[in-house]
């Protein structure tokens, strides 16, 4: 029987939400790792029972958990994230140089072909890889060679939050870092180049030709067209048709082009979703109305999706890793809020329903599809 | 046997429900106790002290015999009742927040 499993990371633990293919009735399990911040959980596309989770705490540091039975039981695995060699320094808020210091894992991206292999995006920004099921982690230090000394933290920290693996080319990886920008490797992570041409950050980064320093919040791709990338930047929704070589703005009629997540419909590569947020100083939806915006034209011509979402007095935020899609025939869309709601749409965004309303603040949502 | 009282989150992580008891060879110091704790429960490595610098994590505190030992050198002997096992060595998550 078809079904969906949502992996939800929150400020106070992880939750697993499951439903059959109708996606109307959900079972909630958790909290797993109660009291800990769970930045992200994600399952292997090769073996969906293999799930990796980033468990972290301001008191006790970083833990990585691994499940081999779909989240029923967990095992603490390797958590040593040591930068290669002398990591040197990066730009600090006041323009001085600051030593690179590991703080936490923001994002875990399992390999498309091997359940024992996964990537970890960390703060201070760097990319790590495991090939032994997360027992040990090795940095891919070429990334920090891409002008790492000029990177600087955004308000949320200097985090590597997005990792996209190209399904058609195992040597190609995209990552995004706040506030350094987007980067691409064409040799499986050995060397990297910034891919930020066309991004404009007038106030934060006056130099229009700056190669790094852009506050990219999230990038997304459709697996059938990995050369087409979509980006939610600090301000501006962007699109690239050439693997990030050049970006063009597609914000058009959005009520605000500030936001965090962006995602692509599972079966329509030109249908994309964002959640507009009022501004960088007011992290809540414009006019107190929680609206997902959908473009069926790969950007521009945005339509608000409001059916089932609160349209007054709503002042939650939706964080960058907190939106996901399933791949059932009728594509499901999911997002979690800082107010603890997880909303689901089983009809590509036309109608919405809250699966749960009172979780801790949601940091991440991932969907696993069982056809 | 040295008695060590862990905060709730670390008890969960280590899979224990109460104080842990450790054999410590030689002088009973913070370092020796933490070495023994991490050897017995490898999942606790890095949660009490940084694995690179071996320094106490900023929001972790050490207490014993009603004394705050957090700022003591890790190599001086712990109070005698801890060494004798009559009093536990407390590892505590600091109060933080509002």
B86, pLDDT greater than 70 = yes
Q: How far is B46 from chain A (nearest CA, A)?
A: 7
Q: A156: pLDDT confidence band, cut at 50, 70 and 90? A: confident
pLDDT tens digits, B10-65: 999 999 999 999 999 999 999 999 999 999 999 999 999 998 889 999 999 999 99
Q: How far is A247 from chain B (nearest CA, A)?
A: 41
Q: A155: pLDDT confidence band, cut at 50, 70 and 90? A: confident
pLDDT tens digits, A250-309: 999 999 999 999 999 999 999 999 999 999 999 999 999 999 999 999 999 999 999 999
Q: Which residue of B has its CA nearest to A59?
A: B59
Establish if A86 touches chain B: CB-CB under 8 angstroms.
no
Distance (Å, rounded) from C-alpha B35 to C-alpha A62?
19
Q: What are phi and psi of A359, to 5 degrees?
A: -75, 165
Per-domain residue ranges of chain B: 2-93
Give the pLDDT score at A93.
85
The sheet carrying A237-240 orders its strands as: A216-221, A229-233, A237-240, A248-249
Q: Which residue of A has its CA nearest to B50?
A: A61
The size of the A-B interface in CB pairs under 8 A is 37
Distance (Å, rounded) from C-alpha A221 to C-alpha A338?
25
Determine the average pLDDT of the residues in A188-192: 98
Interface of B with A (CB under 8 A): 7-10, 13, 43, 45-48, 50-52, 57, 59-60, 93-94, 96
Give the pLDDT score at A208.
78
Query: Which residues contact residue A250 at a Cβ distance below 8 angstroms, ignoring those fewer than 6 apart?
Result: A230, A237, A238, A239, A295, A298, A299, A300
Distance (Å, rounded) from C-alpha A346 to C-alpha A349?
7
Among A111, A90, A112, smallest CA distance to A101 is for A90
Residues of chain B with Cβ-Cβ distance to A82 below 8 Å are: 52
Give the pLDDT score at A291.
98
pLDDT tens digits, A81-107: 999 999 899 999 888 999 999 999 999
Distance (Å, rounded) from C-alpha A54 to C-alpha A108?
7
Distance (Å, rounded) from C-alpha A304 to C-alpha A46?
35
Give the pLDDT score at A81.
96
User: Is A60's CB within 8 Å of B93's CB?
Assistant: yes
Find out whether A133 and A114 touch, Cβ atoms under 8 Å: no
Give the pLDDT score at A94.
86
Find out whether B48 and B54 touch, Cβ atoms under 8 Å: no
Residues of chain B with Cβ-Cβ distance to A103 below 8 Å are: none
Q: A203: pLDDT confidence band, cut at 50, 70 and 90? A: confident
Determine the average pLDDT of the residues in A138-147: 96
Positive or negative CA dihedral for A260, A265, A269, A272? Answer: negative
- Cis omega before residue A179 (within 30°)? yes
User: Is B59's CB within 8 Å of A59's CB?
Assistant: yes
Distance (Å, rounded) from C-alpha B54 to C-alpha A11?
27
Give the pLDDT score at B97.
61
User: Is A61's CB within 8 Å of B47's CB?
Assistant: yes
Angle A362-A364-A370 from CA coordinates, rounded to 5°:
120
Q: Is A255 exposed, middle or buried (0-12, 13-18, 19+ CB in 10 A)?
A: middle
Find out whether A65 and B15 touch, Cβ atoms under 8 Å: no
Q: Is A1 exposed, middle or buried (0-12, 13-18, 19+ CB in 10 A)?
A: exposed
Q: A209: pLDDT confidence band, cut at 50, 70 and 90? A: confident
Distance (Å, rounded) from C-alpha A66 to C-alpha A49?
10
Give the pLDDT score at A176.
98
Find out whether B54 and B32 touch, Cβ atoms under 8 Å: no
Model confidence pTM above 0.80? yes
Q: A354: pLDDT confidence band, cut at 50, 70 and 90? A: very high
Give the pLDDT score at B52.
84
The sheet carrying A27-32 orders its strands as: A27-32, A13-20, A3-10, A362-370
Nearest to B57 among A36, A60, A79 (CB): A60
Q: B1: pLDDT confidence band, cut at 50, 70 and 90? A: very high
* Percentage of residues in chain A having pLDDT higher than 70: 100
pLDDT tens digits, B22-34: 999 999 999 999 9
Residues of chain A with Cβ-Cβ distance to B51 below 8 Å are: 80
How many structural domains does chain A have?
1
Residues of chain B with Cβ-Cβ distance to A36 below 8 Å are: 9
Per the prediction, chain A carries an average pLDDT of 96
Nearest to A59 among B43, B50, B57 (CB): B57
Determine the average pLDDT of the residues in A2-12: 97
Residues of chain A with Cβ-Cβ distance to B48 below 8 Å are: 60
User: Is A60's CB within 8 Å of B48's CB?
Assistant: yes
Q: Tell me, what CATH number does A112's domain have? A: 2.130.10.10
Residue A145 belongs to domain spanning: 3-370
Angle A302-A176-A115 from CA coordinates, rounded to 5°:
105
Q: How far is B52 from chain A (nearest CA, A)?
A: 9
Say which DSSP state B83 is in: H
Find out whether A132 and A74 touch, Cβ atoms under 8 Å: no
Q: Which of A33, A35, A61 is the best substitution to test chain B (most B C-beta atoms within 10 A)?
A: A61
Find out whether A314 and A288 touch, Cβ atoms under 8 Å: yes
Q: Biggest alpha carbon distance in chain B?
A: 41
Fold of the domain spanning B2-93? Ubiquitin-like (UB roll) (3.10.20)
Q: What residues of chain A, 42 to 71, have a C-beta less than 8 Å from chain B? A: 57-63
């Amino acid at each position: 029987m078809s079904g969906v499993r949502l992996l939800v990371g929150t400020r106070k633990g992880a939750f697993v939400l499951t439903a059959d293919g109708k996606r109307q009735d959900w079972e909630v399990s958790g909290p797993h790792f109660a009291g800990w911040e769970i930045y992200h959980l994600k399952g292997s596309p090769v073996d969906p029972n293999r799930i990796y989770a980033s468990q972290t705490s301001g008191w006790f540091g970083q833990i990585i958990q691994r499940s081999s039975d779909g989240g029923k039981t967990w095992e603490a695995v390797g958590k040593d994230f040591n930068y290669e060699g002398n990591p040197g320094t990066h730009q600090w808020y006041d323009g001085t140089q600051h030593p690179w210091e590991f703080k936490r894992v923001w994002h875990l991206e399992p390999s498309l072909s091997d359940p024992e292999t996964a990537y970890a995006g960390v703060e201070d920004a760097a990319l790590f890889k495991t090939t032994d099921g997360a027992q040990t982690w090795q940095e891919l230090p070429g990334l920090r060679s891409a002008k790492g000394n000029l990177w600087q933290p955004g308000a949320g920290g200097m985090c590597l939050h997005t990792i996209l693996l190209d399904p058609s080319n195992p040597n190609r990886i995209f990552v995004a870092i706040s506030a350094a920008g987007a980067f691409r490797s064409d040799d499986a992570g050995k060397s990297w180049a910034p891919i930020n041409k066309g991004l404009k950050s007038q106030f934060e980064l006056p130099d229009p030709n700056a190669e790094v320093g852009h506050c990219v919040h999230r990038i997304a791709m459709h697996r059938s067209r990995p050369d087409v990338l979509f980006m939610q930047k600090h301000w501006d929704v962007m699109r690239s048709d050439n693997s990030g070589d050049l970006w063009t703005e597609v914000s058009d009629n959005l009520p605000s082009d500030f936001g965090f997540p962006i995602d692509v419909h599972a079966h329509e590569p030109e249908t994309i979703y964002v959640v507009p947020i009022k501004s960088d100083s007011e992290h809540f939806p414009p006019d107190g109305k929680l609206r997902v915006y959908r473009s069926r034209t790969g950007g521009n011509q945005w339509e608000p999706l409001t059916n089932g979402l609160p349209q007054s007095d709503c002042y939650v935020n939706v964080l960058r890793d907190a939106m996901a899609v399933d791949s059932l025939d009728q594509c499901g869309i999911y997002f979690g809020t800082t107010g603890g709601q997880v909303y689901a749409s089983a009809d590509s965004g036309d109608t919405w329903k809250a699966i749960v309303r009172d979780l801790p603040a949601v940091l991440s949502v991932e969907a696993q599809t069982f056809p | 046997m040295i008695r060590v009282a862990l905060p709730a989150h670390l008890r969960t992580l280590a899979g224990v429900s109460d104080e842990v008891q450790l054999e410590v060879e030689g002088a009973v110091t913070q370092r020796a106790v933490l070495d023994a704790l991490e050897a017995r429960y490898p999942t606790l490595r890095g949660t009490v002290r940084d694995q690179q610098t071996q320094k106490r994590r900023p929001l972790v505190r050490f207490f014993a015999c009603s004394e705050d030992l957090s700022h003591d050198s890790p190599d001086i002997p712990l109070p005698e009742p801890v060494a004798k096992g009559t009093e536990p060595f407390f590892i505590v998550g600091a109060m933080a927040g509002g």
